[in-house]
């Protein structure tokens, strides 16, 4: 009798704890949706529309979904006043915008930032991406490989140093002078790397506008926003490469300085806008005719000697790293996986271009018809994104293949085979 009573008490306690945990999850997620809904409504004039829409919050360990709306495929079920489900294995998890379950969603990975400004910033960024095509700001992404070269990095850093000084300026005249120098460094970078301004512009339209949107909707006051931009730029310098991440810092800074003069500037741009020329005209900047002479004269004002030395040292180290990668993924036997219907997620801060041979992504997840590839120690993406190269397999257990820093889970329709002449591996459809 006592055992039965104990069992009932334990069962009731367990069920009570479960209900309590579920309610806590429901309350926490609901408060996030309420928070971002209020923030976007407050700033609906930013794009002449309320950016609040369908949101998926994803637990990266369990693939559990928490959503503010239901889907048309009935994957999401009511969970209090929100919705819950499990993300299918064939959908990549990332902070992104995506079409799924009959809707356009902003997907954000859990856990969310503890800081309120950072949290709203992130959610607003991805919500913007979900409507970006409707705003005529949807462009194809181009890799800015040139920004891994020494001179391009130097003049990007000098531009950002000048932007930082503009942000910290105490007068309109001082800000104007630093902005003039920042855009002069930018124009000189474009001069020594001809036509690369097109690729830079694409990424700034794609990610820079989204980052600016998150910054404004976050609700930071002027001092907080300025500190955030300055601190973010300082943190950016330590990124292993700049080719995919620079736009998160340039456009928001220029845009924030411009919004004090023209609060609706962002509504004047489209996917056809050249942001460099737009900012030059918007700030009434006069770029000097003898740009090389001016760059030499202002070089030391923005920590030029230190930047030059740091980038010279980096170039020497990078040459060895690139040589090692070329040997690893091209010269030695390797495993090439061709894409069919590919989706990927990766860290844009940690990639390494190998000139015309492609780009090494240190961490990347690829989902395709053949299965799921998770890489934590480098993989070479081809220049035209039609295949990815990893080291040869070390172990096979059923449909799970593992190698140096990577794991491949194959579908039942695929296996791998070794080429006798090259010792390379490739996928084979059964």
Q: What is the pLDDT of residues 370-410, one digit of tens each?
A: 999 999 999 999 998 999 999 999 999 999 999 999 999 99
**Are residues 208 and 270 both part of a single domain?**
yes
Q: How many domains does the chain have?
A: 3
Mean pLDDT of 279-284: 97
Nearest-10 Cα torsion for 40, 41, 42, 48: 90
Q: Among 15-24, 59-68, 337-346, 416-425, where is mean pLDDT lowest? A: 15-24
**Are residues 73 and 182 both part of a single domain?**
no
- The rounded distance, in Å, linking the Cα atoms of 292 and 191 is 10
pLDDT at 423 over 50: yes
- The rounded distance, in Å, linking the Cα atoms of 202 and 95 is 19
CB atoms within 10 A of CB 140: 7
**Are residues 167 and 296 both part of a single domain?**
yes
pLDDT at 184 over 70: yes
Mean pLDDT of 210-238: 97
pLDDT for position 10: 47
Q: Helices 172-192 & 247-259, crossing angle to 10 degrees? A: 150
- The rounded distance, in Å, linking the Cα atoms of 194 and 370 is 40
**Are residues 89 and 113 both part of a single domain?**
yes
pLDDT at 2 over 70: no
Query: Last residue of some domain: 133, 163, 183?
Result: 133
- The rounded distance, in Å, linking the Cα atoms of 418 and 344 is 25
Query: Last residue of some domain: 133, 164, 192?
Result: 133
pLDDT at 275 over 80: yes
Mean pLDDT of 67-93: 92
Question: Which pLDDT tens digit goes with each residue over 68-78?
Answer: 999 988 899 99
Question: Which pLDDT tens digit goes with each residue over 294-327?
Answer: 999 999 999 999 999 999 999 999 999 999 999 9
**Are residues 235 and 197 both part of a single domain?**
yes
Q: Which two tokens stand for residue 239?
A: 């990124």
Q: Among all chains, which residue has been given the structure tokens 């309320």?
A: 50
CB atoms within 10 A of CB 338: 13
* Residue at 230 is within a domain: yes
Total residues found in the chain within this entry? 430
Q: Among all chains, which residue has been given the structure tokens 């030695």?
A: 332
Q: Which two tokens stand for residue 297?
A: 């004269």
* Residue at 141 is within a domain: no
Query: Last residue of some domain: 302, 328, 356?
Result: 302
The mean pLDDT value of the chain amounts to 92
pLDDT for position 45: 97
Question: Which pLDDT tens digit goes with each residue over 318-377?
Answer: 999 999 999 999 999 999 999 999 999 988 888 999 988 999 999 999 999 999 999 999
pLDDT for position 90: 85
* Residue at 140 is within a domain: no
pLDDT for position 4: 47
**Are residues 247 and 272 both part of a single domain?**
yes
* Residue at 17 is within a domain: yes
Question: Which pLDDT tens digit goes with each residue over 234-274?
Answer: 999 999 899 989 999 999 999 999 998 999 999 999 999 99
**Are residues 227 and 287 both part of a single domain?**
yes
Q: Tell me whether residue 126 is exposed, middle or buried, using C-beta atoms within 10 angstroms of its C-beta: 0 to 12, 13 to 18, 19 or more.
A: buried
* Residue at 172 is within a domain: yes
* Residue at 123 is within a domain: yes
pLDDT for position 22: 60
Sequence-distant (6+) residues with CB within 8 A of 400 are 407, 408, 409, 410
**Are residues 191 and 123 both part of a single domain?**
no
* Domain encompassing residue 196: 154-302
pLDDT for position 1: 45
pLDDT at 16 over 90: no
**Are residues 43 and 123 both part of a single domain?**
yes
**Are residues 333 and 253 both part of a single domain?**
no
pLDDT for position 356: 86
**Are residues 298 and 320 both part of a single domain?**
no
**Are residues 127 and 46 both part of a single domain?**
yes
Tell me the CA distances in angstroms from 146 to 257, 265, 340, one per residue in order: 27, 29, 29
Q: What is the pTM of this model?
A: 0.87
pLDDT for position 21: 53
* Residue at 149 is within a domain: no
* Residue at 386 is within a domain: yes
Which pLDDT band holds residue 17 (cuts at 50, 70, 90)? Answer: very low
């Amino acid at each position: 009798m006592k055992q039965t009573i104990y069992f009932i008490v334990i069962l009731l306690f367990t069920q009570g704890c479960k209900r309590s945990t579920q309610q806590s999850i429901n309350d926490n997620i609901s408060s996030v949706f309420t928070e971002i809904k209020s923030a976007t409504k407050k700033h609906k004039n930013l794009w002449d529309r309320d950016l609040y829409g369908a949101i998926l919050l994803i637990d990266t360990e369990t693939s559990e979904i928490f959503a503010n709306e239901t889907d048309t495929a009935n994957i999401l079920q009511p969970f209090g006043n929100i919705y819950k489900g499990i993300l299918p294995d064939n959908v990549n998890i990332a902070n992104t915008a995506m079409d799924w379950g009959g809707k356009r969603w902003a997907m954000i990975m859990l856990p969310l930032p503890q800081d309120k400004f950072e949290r709203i910033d992130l959610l607003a960024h991805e919500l913007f991406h979900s409507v970006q095509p409707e705003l005529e700001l949807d462009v194809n992404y181009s890799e800015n490989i040139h920004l891994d070269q020494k001179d391009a990095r130097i003049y990007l850093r000098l531009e950002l140093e000048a932007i930082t000084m503009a942000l910290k300026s105490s007068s309109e005249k001082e800000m104007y002078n630093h902005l003039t120098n920042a855009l002069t460094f930018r124009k000189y970078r474009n001069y020594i790397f001809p036509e690369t301004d097109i690729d830079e512009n694409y990424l700034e339209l794609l990610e820079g506008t989204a980052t600016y949107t998150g910054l404004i909707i976050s609700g930071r006051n002027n001092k907080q926003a300025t500190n955030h931009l300055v601190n973010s730029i300082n943190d950016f310098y330590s990124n292993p490469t700049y080719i995919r991440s620079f736009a998160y810092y340039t456009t928001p800074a220029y845009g924030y300085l411009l919004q004090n003069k023209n609060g609706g500037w962002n509504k004047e741009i489209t996917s056809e806008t050249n942001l460099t020329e737009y900012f030059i005209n918007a700030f009434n900047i006069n770029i000097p005719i003898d740009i090389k002479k001016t760059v030499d004269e202002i070089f030391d004002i923005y920590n030029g000697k230190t930047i030059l030395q740091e980038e010279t040292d980096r170039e020497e180290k990078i040459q060895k790293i690139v040589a090692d990668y070329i040997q690893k993924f091209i010269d030695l036997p390797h495993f090439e996986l061709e894409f069919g219907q590919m989706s990927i997620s990766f860290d844009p801060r940690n990639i390494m271009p190998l000139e015309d041979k492609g780009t090494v992504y240190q961490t990347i997840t690829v989902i395709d018809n053949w299965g799921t590839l998770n890489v934590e120690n480098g993989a070479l993406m081809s220049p035209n994104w039609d295949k990815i190269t990893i080291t040869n397999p070390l172990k096979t257990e059923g449909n799970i293949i593992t190698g140096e820093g990577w794991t491949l889970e194959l579908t039942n329709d695929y296996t791998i085979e070794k080429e006798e002449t090259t010792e390379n591996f490739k996928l084979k459809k059964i």
